[in-house]
């Protein structure tokens, strides 16, 4: 029964569509999450009291905002973001709306991860750059970012894996992907073997991301 249903769904292209939508939502949302989260993480680091440009008030405000959004469970965030998604992309369901929710969920997480990665940079390297007259902007790009590339690459891997899981959860609001595939084809039709198949595919996607991430991290390490 399982093999017949699986091959039927495969021949209809539903499984391939679910895989593509999962990968699409993951990559697009992670790209925008880093466009927002990377600068935030840098600002959080450099404005810290031990940073190269201390600014306690700005650091406190940004830290509060980041922690506020990080503390909201994704299922609640999805519901709260429905009007925002409607305003930004014109719909409250589907991949476009979910990508907005994924970005809002991932960007604060990325910001803290970037901040943590930059904190790993050797203080001696920063002091050496300062003694050579390097500007603060130069230190950010030539020291902080360059020295933390291995840690940042590992952070990207973790972010992608987390987003794969969130896309599966997003099937509850009508998003596509393997989560919606498992819910519609498996749960609603009582084909629980299809749910198992969807989970297996999700695990394979995560493994591929992890393997690629490990290879990149090793190549960027000194």
Encode the chain (222 residues) as per-residue pLDDT tens digits: 455 655 665 656 677 888 888 999 999 999 999 999 999 999 999 999 888 888 999 999 999 999 999 999 888 888 888 888 888 888 887 888 889 999 999 999 999 999 998 988 888 888 888 888 888 888 888 888 888 888 898 999 999 999 998 988 887 667 778 888 877 777 767 777 778 888 888 899 999 999 998 898 888 775
Compute φ and ψ for 52, nearest 5 degrees: -85, -10
| 39 sits in which H/E element | helix 14-46
pTM: 0.86
Cα 96 to the center of its chain, rounded Å: 16
The pLDDT assigned to 35 comes to: 95
Burial class (CB in 10 A: 0-12, 13-18, 19+), 8: exposed
**Region for 54 from its dihedrals, namely left if φ exceeds 0, alpha if ψ lies in -120 to 50, beta otherwise:** beta
Give every CB contact of residue 36 below 8 A, 6+ residues apart in sequence: 103, 107, 110, 111
**Residue in 186, 86, 52, 193 with CA at minimum distance from that of residue 178:** 186
Q: How far apart are CA 177 and CA 59, in angstroms?
A: 37
The pLDDT assigned to 106 comes to: 94
The pLDDT assigned to 4 comes to: 60
The pLDDT assigned to 177 comes to: 82
8 Å CB contact between 184 and 15: no
8 Å CB contact between 105 and 77: yes
8 Å CB contact between 93 and 139: no
């Amino acid at each position: 029964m399982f093999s017949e249903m699986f091959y039927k769904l495969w021949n209809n292209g539903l499984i391939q569509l679910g895989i593509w939508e999962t990968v699409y939502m993951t990559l697009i949302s992670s790209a925008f999450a880093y466009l927002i989260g990377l600068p935030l993480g840098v600002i959080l680091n450099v404005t810290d009291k031990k940073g190269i440009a201390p600014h306690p008030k700005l650091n406190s405000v940004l830290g509060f905002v980041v922690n506020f959004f990080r503390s909201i469970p994704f299922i609640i965030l999805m519901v709260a973001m429905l009007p925002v998604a409607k305003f930004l992309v014109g719909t409250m369901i589907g991949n476009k709306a979910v990508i907005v929710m994924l970005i809002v969920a991932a960007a604060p997480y990325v910001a803290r991860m970037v901040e943590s990665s930059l904190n790993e940079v050797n203080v001696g390297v920063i002091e050496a750059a300062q003694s050579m007259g390097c500007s603060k902007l130069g230190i950010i790009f030539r020291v902080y970012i360059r020295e933390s590339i291995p840690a940042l690459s590992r952070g990207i891997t973790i972010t992608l894996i987390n987003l794969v899981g969130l896309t599966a959860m997003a099937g509850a609001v009508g998003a596509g992907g393997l989560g919606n595939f498992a819910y519609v084809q498996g749960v609603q039709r009582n084909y629980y073997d299809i749910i198992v198949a969807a989970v297996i595919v999700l695990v394979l996607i995560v493994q591929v991301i992890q393997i690629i991430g490990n290879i990149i991290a090793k190549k960027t390490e000194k």
